[in-house]
Chains A and B, each alone.
Chain A
Amino acid sequence: MSSVDIHPLVSGARAVPDFATFLRIEMLLALRRRADIANPLLFFVSVLALLPLGLGPEPELLANVAPGMIWVMALLATLLSQESLLRSDFENGTLEQLTLLPQPLYFAVLAKSLVHWIATGLPLALLSPLLAVMLNLPGEGYLCLFVSLLMGTASLSLIGAIGAALTVAVRRPGLLLALIVMPLYVPVLIFGTGAVQAAIDGYAYSAQLAILAALLAAAAALAPLATAVAVRISLDN
């Protein structure tokens, strides 16, 4: 095992960890694996760069498909990075140790999802205006695209963690993970693209954003519970 793989919980901390500790540890781990942060972003940008090559460079056409394409690509980028969310922790035994802590697994899992969002969703949202310019998205949609991606990707990270936990013991989970998580992503996608489309058409879009916020609140409260149960199930394997 290389030194990079050693989990800080195993190597250092003595005291019983709280949520802040989990968060700090996960951030540290994420910063150590910079490629894992960069890859979804590069995927996001490169697929969106392929789009004008496939569809043709007409500005009107690109403007029409831009909100949907940016959202779908954000969804795929989040999904692709979910696979590694729990993998190394499962392989080196950290996940098992986490279930033995006196704290509920909920907080450890919530910290993981939060850091996953900071490492993928947040940069995607920050990058989205740039891609919106490249795809000729009408100016009215920028703010809404940014805000909807900011909230939507957080829900995606939380929901996707359930799938990651269910498939962590499966040898090659890639496509299986996509298959079981995709249907759960649909409401977020519908309201995310709906908000951007409404903003472009000049309608009020606060209702869609409010629903996205409600989905996020529900996902933050419930998804880590399901993920924690799924982790325990998978560890029985």
Chain B
Amino acid sequence: MAWQWFHRLGSPRWFYQKTGAWLPWLALASAVLLIVGSIWGLGFAPEDAKQGNSYRIIFVHVPAAFLALAGYYLMAVSGAIGLIWKMKLAFAVMRAAAPIGAVLTFIALFTGAIWGKPTWGAYWVWDARITSMLILLFLYIGVMALSQAVNREQVADRACALLALVGTVNIPIIYKSVDWWFTLHQPATLRLTEASSIDPSMFYPLLTVIIGFYCMYAWTLLTHTRTLLLRREIRTKWVQQVLTEGK
């Protein structure tokens, strides 16, 4: 009985019906959190003592980078679930996570480059963290390219899942690169287990934006997965029902 929810998850129909109710709430939460967090962070948080106003890019850069990494784990784990339990839904989540993660990685790199110009004096530095984020972007693009190249959907699903799993070897290296090689990029300032080295007046708006990004990520992922499910299950009765009756 305890595992019933897990088996239910394997049913695209159940997933589609359940998540439909969550979407408006997630959209609302992410909109409120992002608007409040942005105004708070950009307008009311104090200026940084050394960097002036340019530090405010962390309100986009940090949450995007967080989710770029977390999104890769999510993609790899759902790929593994799909490979192990042969769950169609898990593959759909994996496929949906790849482009979203790629965009977030790009945003993290792009905002980092904009911030790097006034602060480090260069848009691009071959620093350990930046290089490894670029590799993360290539990992995402590799999964997307492979899914495009293989014709049969089921084969593509499993091939992408395996590639994503092999790529996870790189993720701890990326995550820890700032702590291991002390290069130009600053080490992690946000910590869950000990005191953060960031001032509370900057930390709270940042936390708001991060939670907002998580909500937005969940919303985007669910919407994308639902669309993929509709397209994949187009021949089944429940999809026909959804499409004709608009449920």
Chain B binds chain A: yes
Q: Give A contacts to B, CB under 8 Å.
A: 162, 166-167, 169-170, 173, 176, 179-180, 182-184, 186-187, 226, 229-230, 233-234, 236-237
- Chain B stretch 117-147: residues in CB contact (< 8 A) with chain A: 135, 138-139, 141-143, 145-146
Which residue in B135, B145, B162, B170 is a CB contact (below 8 Å) of A176? B145
Q: Is the CB of B151 within 8 A of A237?
A: yes
State the Cβ distance, B180 to closest chain A Cβ, in Å.
Answer: 12
Q: Mark B141-158, 1 if CB is under 8 A from A, else 0.
A: 111011001111011001
What is the bound-complex CA distance between A150 and B68, given in angstroms? 35
Q: Knowing A166-B159, A237-B151, say if A187 contacts B146 (CB, 8 Å).
A: no
State the main secondary structure of chain B at its contact with A.
helix
Q: Which residues of A contact B154 (CB under 8 A)?
A: 236
A184 touching B166, Cβ below 8 Å: yes
Docked-complex contact B141 and A179, CB < 8 angstroms: yes
Q: A233–B155 contact, CB under 8 A?
A: yes
Interface residues in B172-191 by Cβ distance below 8 A to A read 173
B99 at the A/B interface (Cβ < 8 Å)? no
Q: Please determine whether B167 and A166 come into contact, CB atoms closer than 8 angstroms.
A: no
Asked if A179 and B152 sit within 8 Å, CB to CB, the answer is no
- Asked if A183 and B155 make an inter-chain contact with CB atoms under 8 angstroms apart, the answer reads no
**Contact A182–B145 (Cβ < 8 Å):** no
What's the tally of chain B residues with a CB closer than 8 Å to chain A? Answer: 24
Chain B residues closer than 8 Å to A180, beta-carbon distance:
142-143, 145-146, 163
Chain A CB within 10 Å, residue with most, of B151, B165, B169? B169
Q: Which of A162, A179, A233 contacts B166 (CB 8 A)?
A: A162
Q: Which residues of B contact A226 (CB under 8 A)?
A: 162, 165-166
What is the minimal beta-carbon distance from A119 to any residue of chain B, in angstroms? Answer: 24
Given contacts A166-B146, A169-B150, A179-B141, are A186 and B135 in contact (CB under 8 A)? yes
CA distance A187 to B177 in the complex (A): 12
Once the chains are docked, how many angstroms separate the CA of A233 from the CA of B139? 20
Residue from A183, A186, A233 within 8 A of B159 (CB atoms): A233
Asked if B139 and A167 sit within 8 Å, CB to CB, the answer is no
Task: Please tell me which one of the listed residues B138, B146, B150, B169 contacts residue A237 in the complex, with CB atoms under 8 A apart.
Answer: B150
When chains A and B are docked, how far (Å) is the Cα of A66 from the Cα of B131?
21
Complex Cα–Cα for A236 and B83 (A)? 14
13 A-B contacts (beta carbon < 8 Å): A166-B163, A179-B141, A179-B145, A180-B145, A180-B146, A183-B139, A184-B170, A233-B158, A233-B162, A234-B159, A236-B152, A237-B152, A237-B155
